[in-house]
Amino acid sequence: MAKNITVIPATRNQHTGIPTMTKYKRRVAGYARVSTDSEEQQTSYEAQVDYYTQYIRSKPEWQFVEVYTDEGISATNTKKRDGFNRMIQDALDGKIDLILTKSVSRFARNTVDSLTTVRKLKDAGVEVYFEKENIWTLDSKGELLITIMSSLAQEESRSISENVTWGQRKRFADGKVTMPYRSFLGYRKGADGTPEIIPDEAAIVKRIYALFMQGKTTGAIARILTAEGIPTPGGKQKWAVSTIESILKNEKYRGDAILQKTFTVDFLQKKMKPNEGEVPQYYVQNSHPAIIEPAEWDLVQAEMARRKELKQRYSSHSVFASMIFCGECGGYYGSKVWHSTDKYRRVIWQCSDKFKGDHRCGTPHLTESQIQELFLQAFGKVVSLRDIILEDCRLVQKELFDCTELDRQQQTLEEEMRMAADMVRHCIEENALKVQDQTEYLQRYEQYTRHYEKLKKKYDALEEERKRRKEQQDRLGAFIATMEHTQTVPVAFDADLWLATVDRVTVHKDTVVFTFKGGMEITENI
């Protein structure tokens, strides 16, 4: 028997959802824009508004909503176009069915914004008519427009991104330094375009560094600045720990600049990531006036590294905290107040584990004045051998600087990792193209990935060694800088000198051993 097919006609518009037999007036709006405030453009602007008002009102099947306008605003980005944004919101709120505009370029010159907006309106059942191109976005020609716009958007973004990236990297290679001045404490853009120090803000930066070297934690510094009502670089009232850390770590405060710390991964989404060696970096020395002396900045980096190693064991109550160790059990010396409520009050330091367990350490307690006096005696011996110590330190520093072998090993591993990654990729592609035994495929895949992970582990270990050397280099550099400027022993105890020179102090039963950052050990009798 022959098939009998009956066509059931559509009863609703597939885009708007309105019944086809319904006598419904489409709510229509116009959009007019000129990009400058010139008199000539003003005439064009008024003509567009009048034209769309009359044109829409002349159509009996249309209901006039409004002519939305933006005057003297570029269409490169839609964020600053109030009239455009209000129109789109009204359309999405169901107040508009059709938008008329002169051309695609009048609607949005930025194809990314245009594509996003057209698709958003289409999903809401709102049509756009580009008069010059005679394109309705809800018909088949409109679909072609969206496809073309997608391609244009991607290529335009790629081209802009590549041009911007090239310009930035050219500036980096030329050593040109820029700063986010609005949120960067201590500097402003000078008349010649280079960074210029703001004295009042520079004083805050110097105080942050001083408080840190006095033993304060980043959290304590943040609380102090917040309590005093000092605004943050961004103008906020409450300081965050991360802001203090950023100021302490930023090399720009010592007058240098590392360029290209981050880079764009995805040119379409503008996704940024920290530069971990994927693209070149540039270190520019003496690029602008320094707020913090380089020697002091190096000292702060060394102290940050020391505290990081101590982790939770660091205490900010005293410069002696986490610096003095028991020679018997290896525990830390902690402070204790004796006679806290009378005139005999004094602070003593003793092994924190002295009364733990059955065995009691035989190491003695020390008063703060004893520690200070012993330090001055030991430091006096260091100063007497200053030239010999500095020569030895410079030799050690030179060895730490030399990463030739590390570079060679990492380069070899990079090549092997690249080959391993290619083998993994080839394995996956081959499995996608040819029918294979999946058990054998998985075995090969796991073998290749294990090999890659093994190489990656070795590479990361070398990178950690590089970081360790850099931290040692910073500590030694700070010590060298301090010793170069110190030719005599101070009369009174100096906390900054203590932090700059002492690595650790080990207390034994009758002696105290001072280990200085240059590696020299001095023993003093108690």
Average pLDDT over residues 118-142: 84
262: buried, middle or exposed (CB in 10 Å: 19+, 13-18, 0-12)? exposed
> For 414-458, how does the pLDDT look when each residue is reduced to its tens digit (9 = 90+)?
899 889 888 888 888 887 778 788 888 888 888 988 998 999 899
| Bridge partner residues of 324 (DSSP) | 505
- In angstroms, the Cα distances linking 391 to 113, 395, 484 are 63, 6, 11
Are 196 and 289 in contact by the 8 Å Cβ rule? The answer is yes
pLDDT of residue 354: 80
Question: 459-515, pLDDT tens digit by residue?
Answer: 989 988 888 888 778 778 878 888 888 888 888 898 888 888 888 999 999 999 999
- Residues in contact with 50: Cβ distance below 8 Å, sequence separation at least 6, in sequence order: none
Res 21 pLDDT > 70 = no
CA dihedral 29, 30, 35, 40 (to 10 degrees): -140
Q: Of 397, 395, 396, 389, which Cα lies nearest the Cα of 520? A: 389
Residue 243 has pLDDT above 90, yes or no: yes
The confidence score (pLDDT) of residue 413 equals: 92
Residues 392-420 have pLDDT tens digits of 888 888 877 788 888 899 999 989 988 98
Output the pLDDT for position 445: 87
Task: Kindly report the CATH class assigned to 26-156.
Answer: alpha beta
Q: Whole-angstrom Cα distance, residue 254 to residue 4?
A: 87
C-beta of residue 156 within 8 angstroms of C-beta of residue 112: yes
Where does 322-470 show beta strands of DSSP type E?
A: 324-326, 333-338, 346-351, 366-367
Q: Which CATH architecture has domain 181-292?
A: Alpha-Beta Complex (3.90)
What whole-number distance in Å separates Cα of residue 24 and Cα of residue 376?
95
| 513 compared with 34, residue with greater pLDDT | 513
Residue with the bigger pLDDT between 237 and 400: it is 237
Return the number of other C-beta atoms located less than 10 Å from residue 295's C-beta.
Answer: 17
Distance CA 32, CA 67 (A): 7
Averaged pLDDT of the chain: 81
Taking the CB of residue 385, how many other CB atoms lie within 10 A of it?
13
Say whether 181-292 and 26-156 share the same fold: no
DSSP E strands, 290-362: 324-326, 333-338, 346-351
Q: Name every residue whose Cβ is closer than 8 Å to that of residue 411 and which is 6 or more positions away in sequence.
A: none
Collapse the DSSP code of 28 into the 3-class scheme (helix H, G, I; strand E, B; otherwise coil) and give the result: strand
Q: What is the DSSP letter of 350?
A: E
Question: Does residue 2 sit in helix, strand or coil?
Answer: coil
First to last CA, the chain: 116
Q: What is the DSSP letter of 175?
A: T
Indicate the domain borders of the chain. 26-156, 181-292, 324-525
